[in-house]
Chains A and B, each alone.
Chain A
Amino acid sequence: MGGQAHHHEESFISKFVFSHDHKMISKQFLVTAIVMGVVAVLLSVFFRLQLGWPGESFSILETFLGKWAPGGVLDRNAYLALVTIHGTIMVFFVLTGGLSGTFSNLLIPLQIGARDMASGFLNMLSYWFFFFSSILMISSLFVEGGAASGGWTVYPPLSALPQAMPGSGTGMTLWLISMVLFVVSSLLGGLNYVVTIINLRTKGMSMTRLPLTIWAFMVTAILGVLSFPVLVSAVVLLLMDRSMGTAFYLSDIFIGGEALDVTGGSPILYQHLFWFLGHPEVYIVLLPALGISSEVIATNARKPIFGYKAMVGSLLAIGFLSFIVWGHHMFVTGMNPFIGSVFVFTTLLIAIPSAVKAFNYITTLWRGNIRFSPAMLFSIGLVSTFVTGGLTGIILADSALDVNVHDTYFVVAHFHIVMGMSAIFGMLAGIYHWYPKMFGRMMNNKLGFVHFWITIVCGYGVFFPMHFVGIAGAPRRYYESSNFDFLNGVMDLQPLISTFAIVGAIGQLFFLFNFFYSIFYGQKSVQNPWKSNTLEWTTPVAHMHGNWDGPLPKVHRWAYDYSNPVHEEDFVPQTTPALPGEVMH
């Protein structure tokens, strides 16, 4: 890797497998996440075939799914399993483990001027917990009864009772164990990120000179460290309800012709615990993407990011608020309406810092000199999806309105645009932008352009019409909707949506090919290809332990001195000392 093999003092195992080096670990996270992402996209294509053309036979389904798609028609239980595992993999393995794992690891030491993470060993453990957690999650697709099928939120009692559905058997147990391992990975990583950012900044790198990427990664890591342990509690209690006869979430249940000996628990308790993680999780997914796009947009617009302090402030505000809004997922659970009102209020408050971010991005573009690298295209796409998807959140945050669209396609549209597309766009922007840093080679831009335009057209093509399907009253997670005459009017959108989904999935081949081809044959990178200010571009192209050959770089200015009229060049690296008489920002 890294373009050329330099010293060979390390064995293959310690260099590529059990590496302590943050750059290698970052690449391990990335490749694992890409593999998981491919699986999750395939799963979605399979269930989109059923949703677009219900009951029709597709031989590809039988080829891949065997007895789950007898005669090429997806089985009803398998449909739910696919939906569940698609969501789980995308939210946790691609957009949490993949996104944070890749870019926090790669960029934190490089952008703050550290030789490595605070603990390389914990960092390695973090990856391997993630790896085994991924293996468990994938293996749950192959067990008797199939994978977990209760939706990615796995609400009990459905998930607690093997009698309730085949997916609540072994597959569910594996899901829960996999999640516990995942959380361990996430905690080890998160602690490491926070400690590194606070302690290992190089000389001159004050908190107010940190690139916004680092701010975003830090807020993300803090959110994770505070909220993921609550998920573990939820999951462990659920495991106990499943296998040790406890009744934390169960009460008064009659199933399979038998009255169960459980009283006193509450299924709603699980939802509180789950969403206490679940909502911060949305921002754990989104904030790194916003951080990446801030950096990419400033670099490629050749302009300072507009309102740096407001950007940091809004990150912190979003991070704080994300902890007190979880109840907006539960307006129709019978929760006390007054508590609902409080959650309406706190949730809508989040729109304010989000609006600030959106307007600041747009002002950054105004009178910029925009270089459309693929990374820049994806970042601008992110701003669009962040706004478009975020706006429908206003409807869902309003309890009176949520009642009517809760759990419909409207919700699917909302979170896929604001969280799915935005975060994926941020991740892809990061990959295109820092690819030369990771692999010492460039990706092909032309393929990147094709990839981007296919992805944004198909992404909106899939999720935008879903708003209309949802407002008409179509519930999500339905195997088919032909049993309801009142939905006939909007169901002709389903084949269109599926077509966009399939084309969009095929479009990702442009990315996959580009990614793997360029690792081996891509054009060799120069040290600072994007003419960027941040410290990672002062390291040698070939990777080395410790990142910098000589002493650590010294920082003299913030990261956003692009097109500063005092300087001749349109970028001023952070290591450049102040000119005589220069006013510093």
Chain B
Amino acid sequence: MKLLILLVIVLGLVAAVQLSKVYQLSMSLRGKREEDISEADNRLNGNLWLAFMVAFYAGFIWLLVRYGDYAPPSASLHGEAVDWLMDFNMLIIFVVFFLVNTLLFWFSAKYYYRADRKAQFYAHDNKLELVWTVIPSIVLAILIAYGLQTWNDMTGEASDDAIRVELYSKQFDWTARYPGTDGEFGLVNYNLITPLNALGIVTEGGVQDALKEIELKIAKVESEIAYEKGHLIAEIEALEDKLHGDHHGHGHDEHADDHGHEGSFDAMASARIAEIEHMLASGKLTILTDAAYEAKEDKLYRLQRHRQRIMETRNFTYGEDLSAWDAGKDDQIVKGEFHLPLGREIEFVFRSRDVIHSAYMPHFRAQMNSVPGVPTRFKMTPIISTDSMRIILDNPDFDYVLLCNKVCGASHYNMQMKLVVESEESYEAWLAEQDEFLMKEDSEELEEEKATTEVASETITASL
């Protein structure tokens, strides 16, 4: 089959070459050259420009009629201004688009080459050029002024009574967080992220658990380093050299303090040798290549820094009445769908766990990247509830959606969360049903999970 296809391609190519040669031969017999484009060809191409123009505009109008008012009305306050500005810009763009393309295609069709005429020598006209420099400048000045005004309104400070919602992104889902009754988001630290604390909220228990866990890891790596066979044997050899051979030698800086107290050095060295021999006989012995040993040391260093960072979360305070460790307790964390009250200003805070994502809510004309390490903000006021939008669109299944609009990996195309806009009462009722963070931490499920990790950590300790 493949051979057949290949054969067809080769034969087709040969045929094309032969046809072209015949065509060329006939041209040269008639004494025609490629660069002498006949009047018929010129007229044809000129007319094709007109035909193209008609088809192009017809296609455009078909698209406009069928898909032009596709985007539903803006569901946010600033979105109405954005839509107005968009329409205004589009109007100007349409005018210029049709004007310039029409002139271009029309001139092309009209002035096709005829041997008996000569083009008009028209090299420049300063007045004309001034006109089409000044007019675009004025139009653009207007566009810039309106654009920046809208932009300033959109990006100004959120009002004090705005409702704050955090949208947290990771490959490949969204989590929303509400600050709870204290109105403050709990402090977060990415080092505290666990399966049960996906956002890394700082709480006393969380910090202690994390420290406990990291201490275990540090102890394990320290033990692996301490019990490395090659290093232990080398240490014995060095000590024995000192004890027997090189008693009075100098230059052994490690034991510089012991010079002058040879008796006590010998005793310490022997004790250490005995200890090492005991270690060599134990089951914890590790055998590592030099590279692996260095990697362990590196890992130890990283773990120690990690521990340091977790401990630093203690230094943060919100002020007198609220400690860093308490602010997160009442935070409400929701997945799958989140709700917003109608007519209230919302200030979103965006955070990301891993790569850059972008929170895009097309119905609200709202978009902002969420960037790891750099929290970002966007404010908006929803003005059409989900129910009203269902009526407007005549679609009882319609739902607002938050989607990811910055490529973030394989499942980027399906990273979404449902968004419900409803009356303030319904919103309050919905919010009251959502668990507070620490309530969740106290749940039975968590206890079970804790129990299993404790068992696991005991086994690790035992193996040390």
Contact = CB atoms under 8 A, between A and B. Distances in A.
A370 B37 CA distance: 11
Contact of B372 (A267, A446, A480): A267
B119 A570 contact: yes
A255 B112 CA distance: 63
Given A155-B356, A158-B408, A267-B372, A398 B123 contact: no
Contacts of B410: 76-77, 80, 165
B120 A367 contact: yes
B272 interface: no
B179 interface: no
Interface in B308-336: 309
Contact of A306 (B123, B143, B413): B123
Interface in B365-407: 365-369, 371-377, 397-399, 401, 403-407
A398 B85 contact: yes
Contacts of A255: 171, 353-355
Nearest to B210: A259
Interface string B137-159: 10010011001101110110000
A259 to B, nearest CB: 5
A190 interface: no
A128 to B, nearest CB: 31
A150 B410 CA distance: 10
Interface in A363-396: 363, 365-373, 377, 380, 383-384, 387-388, 391-392, 394-395
B343 interface: no
Given A157-B354, A252-B372, A373 B71 contact: no
Interface stretch (A131-139, A224-232, A280-288, A486-494): A486-494
A158 B100 contact: no
A521 B125 CA distance: 45
A542 interface: no
B42 interface: yes
Interface string A236-262: 000000000000001111110001010
A307 interface: yes
A408 B285 CA distance: 58
A399 to B, nearest CB: 5
A394 B141 CA distance: 12
Contacts of A182: none
Contacts of B105: 384
Interface in A451-475: 453, 456-457, 460-461, 464-465, 467-468, 471-473, 475
Given A255-B354, A403-B366, A348 B401 contact: no
B119 A562 contact: yes
Interface in A289-321: 301-304, 306-310
A340 interface: yes
B463 interface: no
B45 interface: yes
Interface stretch (A106-114, A169-177, A212-220, A350-358): A350-358
Nearest to B370: A334
B407 A151 contact: yes
Nearest to B17: A517
Given A392-B93, A408-B405, A477-B407, A158 B355 contact: yes
A334 B85 contact: no
Contact of B97 (A344, A388, A529, A563): A388
B151 A400 contact: yes
B119 A334 contact: no
A299 to B, nearest CB: 11
A404 B365 contact: yes
B70 to A, nearest CB: 5
Contact of A486 (B63, B137, B363): B363
Contacts of A358: 100
B121 A304 contact: yes
A266 B374 contact: yes
A428 interface: no
B104 A348 contact: no
B70 A489 contact: yes
Interface residues of B, number: 125
Contacts of B27: 523
A521 B362 contact: no
A34 interface: no
B42 A371 contact: yes
Contact of B35 (A365, A367, A403, A442): A442
B152 A337 contact: yes
Given A398-B143, A401-B85, A254 B411 contact: no
A446 B412 CA distance: 46
B271 to A, nearest CB: 37
Contact of A399 (B34, B90, B147): B147
Contacts of B212: none
Contacts of B430: none
Contacts of A64: none
A297 B36 CA distance: 17
A460 B20 contact: no
Contacts of A301: 111, 119
Interface in B12-32: 13, 16-17, 20-21, 23-24, 27-28
Nearest to B38: A445
B212 to A, nearest CB: 16
A29 B86 CA distance: 43
B443 interface: no
B118 interface: yes
A150 B171 CA distance: 14
Contacts of B367: 332, 403-404, 406-407
Contacts of B85: 398, 400-401
Contact of B148 (A253, A341, A362, A467): A341
Nearest to B45: A372
17 contacts: A252-B190, A259-B191, A261-B306, A266-B373, A267-B371, A304-B123, A306-B123, A334-B374, A340-B155, A352-B140, A370-B111, A370-B113, A408-B405, A461-B59, A517-B20, A526-B35, A562-B119
Interface of B: 13, 16-17, 20-21, 23-24, 27-28, 33-35, 37, 41-42, 45-46, 48-49, 52, 55-56, 59-60, 63, 67-68, 70-72, 79, 81-82, 85-86, 89-90, 92-93, 96-97, 100-101, 103-105, 107-108, 111-114, 117-125, 128-129, 132-133, 136-137, 140, 143-144, 147-148, 150-152, 154-155, 170-171, 190-191, 193, 200, 302, 305-306, 309, 350, 353-356, 358, 360, 362-363, 365-369, 371-377, 397-399, 401, 403-414, 416
Given A391-B96, A394-B143, A408-B405, 9 more contacts: A254-B200, A255-B353, A344-B144, A351-B140, A356-B136, A449-B41, A489-B67, A522-B34, A530-B35
Interface of A: 76-77, 80, 150-151, 155, 157-158, 161, 164-165, 250-255, 259, 261, 263, 265-268, 301-304, 306-310, 332-334, 337, 340-341, 344-345, 348-349, 351-352, 355-356, 358-363, 365-373, 377, 380, 383-384, 387-388, 391-392, 394-395, 398-401, 403-404, 406-408, 436, 442-446, 449, 453, 456-457, 460-461, 464-465, 467-468, 471-473, 475, 477-481, 483-486, 489-490, 493, 513, 517, 521-523, 526, 529-530, 560, 562-565, 570, 585
The 3 closest A-B pairs by CB, nearest first: A251-B373, A473-B362, A334-B376
